[in-house]
Structure 1
Amino acid sequence: MTVKLFVTDLDGTLLPSGAAVPAENIAAVQRAVRAGVTVTIATGRMYRAALPVAKALGVDVPIITYNGALIKSVIGRVYYSNFLKPDIIVRVIDFCRAQGWYVQSYSKDELWVPVHDEHAQHYEHEQQVQGHVVGWDGLKEHTEEVCKLLTISESAEETQARLQLLNEHFGQEIMAMRSNVRYAEIVNPGVSKAEGLKHLAAKLHIPIEETMAIGDSYNDLPMLKAAGRSVAMGNAVPEVKAVCDYVTASCEEFGFAKAIDTLVLGGGANE
């Protein structure tokens, strides 16, 4: 199998959470690009939070952000967008507030938070972005071009319970999914990294069979299943390892670079 499009998750895959891209991974990307492979990012992050990583890689292609709700190039060209409706945003915010949950919004690629508590502060530090503290009523005033809402909990069990409540309460109006043990993301139905990969492959005229995806967490599952071949990081959750064609080393052991060198450039994907 020839790999023409290689799509990577960020946190826990390409880079340790909140850290810079390791030089080993940057070098691997450049080797792949020189060999004619398109390497890009698929992430739950905001576009503005993913952009510095893409620039560090030297990636000059559209990047898949907000878990597939926005595909936008490094120079700012929008290839695809899927925004939540304003009335749904207001109702989800009211629902989360009634439950006593922290929730944050993303309007026009800016972060909006109701309070500057430990959840907001941790997220800002992790993603290297600064949020706007606007209060609960203010949160509902920023409903334009919102790709997703995010509620942050204290545990995997609590996150799962929130997902169930959100999906039961709103039915087919939204889709709530887990991006890590503490994050429950609210997007439009059909939004996923998988759909983002398909949209991008079509834009680049690359057959899905010639794509490869790599990831480590729950929100990567649809993308890994949709790609022609899939790679799980050594630190991936068991559910990811169970569906992937290959398992590489952990993020700290530069499993991303090893996957590029072994499976993409070394021909291991043909085995």
Structure 2
Amino acid sequence: MKLAATDYDGTFCPHGGDIPQANVEAVARWQAAGHKFGLCTGRGVELVRLALKPHPDLHPDFFVCNNGGVLLDGSGNLLLSQDIPADVCAGVLAMPVLTQKHHPLRVLTREHMLTVDTGAAIEFGFPLELPGIRLSEASQLEHVVQISLRCDTAEEALAAAAEVRAAFPMITGNINRNYIDFNMQEANKRDGLRNLLQVSGWQPEEVFFIGDDRNDLPAVKFFHGYTVATAADFMKEAAIAVYPTVGDMLLANL
């Protein structure tokens, strides 16, 4: 048995588009051969369910959500959660770098995603209407696994992640383009997959990971993984091979 894990946005699915049918068909062939397939994404549970709703014939065997902050089995049952301690969550949300520039901000719990009112004039970037809450309410939420911030540029995201990390060393900033997901240090895609193997008991002969951006780098390097043709040059340099699509990667290693 082999195990394949793919990033979602920009890898399994083009940014702003739908999952290509060729990828869905390749997943079916991969699973029919007796292998495991799953998503390894910065998305929370709600956005993953939204993405899969138009594809009832797509049945991942596992979900590594929130950059490894939440692990689910193929039926959606919780396997593991890396919750941010309440005092740390409140401290991060109180930092000016998250509030003073009025960037779009979201807080994700194990199950839900909520928009924080920062006075942002632009949307976060996902086509989903979410409950809006005040910053004071966000600080009181239970089982928070991720705080997501949209910056203007990737450079600004890197600087903001460094600022938060300096104040809270137990928090890491998983960056995809100009978006930051603040998670617990252990919540990254590399460790998320390692934890999945531990809690599932699976012992695959090989692990195939494919991703396209900075939050995928630790997993690409650790698992000697792959990237797609649309990825940035730094990802192509880190990957051991570049494929046109995820489906091509699955079929080449079937």
Secondary structure of 1:76's partner?
A: coil
Deviation track 1:61-104 (CA, whole Å, cap 9, x = no partner) reads 22100000101124231111110011111111110455435332
Q: Which moved more, 1:19-28 or 1:91-100?
A: 91-100
Q: Out of 94-103 and 210-219, give the one that drifted further.
A: 94-103
**Could you report, residue by residue, the CA deviation over 1:227-257 in whole angstroms, capped at 9, with x for unpaired residues?**
2x411111112222112111112xxxxx111
Residue 173 (structure 1) aligned with residue 170 (structure 2)? yes
Using the TM superposition, give the Cα deviation of residue 215 of structure 1 relative to its aligned residue in structure 2, in angstroms.
0.8
- Residue 189 of structure 1 aligns with an amino acid whose one-letter code is Q
Contact 1:218 1:237 in 2 (8 A): no
1:150 to 137, 141, 148: 148
Give the Cα–Cα distance (whole angstroms) in 1 for the partners of residues 98 and 229 of structure 2.
Answer: 37
Please tell me whether residue 123 in structure 1 is matched to residue 118 in structure 2: no
Aligned mates of 2:87, 2:108 — CA distance in 1? 15
Whether the 8 Å contact between 2:2 and 2:205 is mirrored in structure 1 is no
Aligned-partner residue type, residue 235 of structure 2: V
CA–CA separation in structure 2 for the residues paired with 1:65 and 1:206: 18
Q: Is the 8 A contact 1:101 1:153 kept in 2?
A: no
Identity fraction in percent? 22
User: Is 1:75 equivalent to 2:75 in the alignment?
Assistant: yes
Q: Name stretches of at least 5 consecutive residues in structure 2 with no aligned partner.
A: none
Task: Quote the residue 1:140 is aligned against.
Answer: 139
Do the aligned residues in 1 keep the contact of 2:11 with 2:228 (CA within 8 Å)? yes
Query: When the two structures are aligned, how many residues end up with a matched partner?
Result: 249
- The alpha-carbon deviation at position 189 of structure 1 amounts to 1.4
CA distance in 2, matches of 1:93, 1:235: 34
TM-score, normalised by the number of residues in structure 1: 0.84
Instruction: Tell me whether 1:93 sits opposite 2:93 in the alignment.
Output: yes
**Alpha-carbon distance in structure 1 between the residues aligned to 2:165 and 2:158:** 11
Structure 2 counterparts to residues 179-258 of structure 1, below 5 A: 180-207=176-203, 210-227=206-223, 229-249=224-244, 255-258=245-248
The CA RMSD over aligned residues, in Å, is 2.1
The Cα shift of 1:208 comes to: 6.2
Q: Which residue of 1 aligns with 2:26?
A: 28
Question: Structure 1: which 5+ residue stretches go unaligned?
Answer: 250-254, 266-271
Say whether the 8 Å CA contact 1:40–1:54 is kept in structure 2.
Answer: no
> TM-score, normalising length from structure 2?
0.89
Deviations along 1:43-69, one digit per CA (max 9) or x if unpaired, are 000112113445635325221000001
- Which has more helix, going by share of residues? 1
Partner SS state of residue 63, structure 1: strand
Distance in 2 (CA, whole Å) between partners of 1:243 and 1:208 is 23
* C-alpha separation in 2, matches of 1:100 and 1:242: 34
Shift in Å, 1:29: 0.4
The one of 35, 55, 63 equivalent to 1:37 is 35
- 1:149-184: CA deviation from partner (whole Å, max 9, x where unpaired): 0111101121111112111222x2311231x22112
